[in-house]
With several copies, the nearest count.
Chain A
Amino acid sequence: MSDWTRDEMMTVAAARQLRDGCICFVGIGLPSAACNLARLTHAPDVVLIYESGTLGTRPDVLPLSIGDGELADTAACVIPLPEVFGYLLQAGRVDVGFLGAAQVDRHGNLNSTVIGPYDAPRTRLPGAGGATEIAAHARQTFVMLKATPRSLVAQLDFRTSGGFLEGNGARARTSMRGTGPQSVITDFGVLQPHPASEELQLSALFEGTTVDEARAATGWPLEVAATVETIAPPTKIELETLRALHARTREAHRRPVRLPA
Chain B
Amino acid sequence: MRSKVTTLSEAIAAHVLDGACVALEGFTHLIPFAAGHEIIRQGRRDLHLVRMTPDLIYDQMIGMGCASRLTFSWGGNPGVGSLHRLRDAVEHQWPAPLAIDEHTHAGVAAAYSAGAAGLPFATLRGYLGTDLPSVNPRIRSVDCPFTGERLAAVPALNPDVTILHAQRADRRGNVAMHGIVGAQREAAFAARALIVTVEEIVEELPPAMNGIVLPHWIVSAVAQCRGGAYPSYVHDHYARDNSFYQRWDAIARERDGFLAWMNRHVLASRDHATFLASLREVA
Contact = CB atoms under 8 A, between A and B. Distances in A.
Nearest to A62: B79
A133 B108 CA distance: 12
Contact of A69 (B29, B75, B129, B189): B29
Interface residues of B, number: 85
A259 B227 contact: yes
Contact of A261 (B83, B112, B226, B241): B226
A26 B225 CA distance: 33
B237 A82 contact: no
Contacts of B240: 64-65, 68-69, 257
Contacts of A171: 129
A113 to B, nearest CB: 8
A61 B110 CA distance: 31
A7 B126 CA distance: 33
A103 interface: no
A259 B276 contact: yes
A149 interface: no
Interface string B238-278: 11111111100000000000000000000000000000100
A132 B29 contact: no
Nearest to B54: A126
Contact of A77 (B119, B208, B217, B241): B208
Contacts of A124: 75, 82, 86-87, 90-91
A23 B209 CA distance: 19
A120 to B, nearest CB: 8
Interface in B13-36: 27-29
B103 A128 contact: yes
Given A160-B130, A260-B226, A68 B28 contact: yes
A201 B235 CA distance: 46
Contacts of B231: 257
Q: Looking at chain A, what size class is its interface with the partner chain? A: 35 or more
B104 A64 contact: no
Contacts of B218: 93
A82 B119 CA distance: 14
Interface centre among A56, A67, A176 (most CB of B within 10 A): A67
B142 interface: no
Interface string A97-137: 00000000000010001000011111111111111110111
B117 A77 contact: no
B73 A129 contact: yes
Interface stretch (B4-12, B37-45, B61-69, B177-185): B177-185
A175 B130 contact: no
Interface of B is mostly: loop
B58 interface: no
Nearest to A160: B130
B212 to A, nearest CB: 8
A216 interface: no
B202 interface: no
Nearest to B275: A259
B106 A85 contact: yes
Given A128-B105, A259-B283, A160 B131 contact: yes
A129 B53 contact: yes
11 contacts: A28-B78, A47-B217, A64-B79, A65-B240, A90-B106, A118-B131, A124-B87, A136-B125, A136-B126, A177-B125, A253-B246
Interface of A: 21, 23, 28-29, 45, 47, 51-56, 63-69, 71-72, 75-78, 80-82, 85-87, 89-93, 109, 113, 118-133, 135-137, 158-163, 165, 171, 174-177, 252-261
Given A67-B78, A81-B182, A91-B116, 18 more contacts: A21-B1, A45-B1, A52-B180, A54-B180, A64-B242, A65-B79, A65-B245, A82-B110, A86-B109, A113-B131, A118-B131, A133-B128, A135-B129, A160-B132, A174-B128, A253-B243, A256-B243, A257-B241
Closest 4 A-B residue pairs measured CB to CB? A162-B129, A67-B28, A260-B227, A126-B76
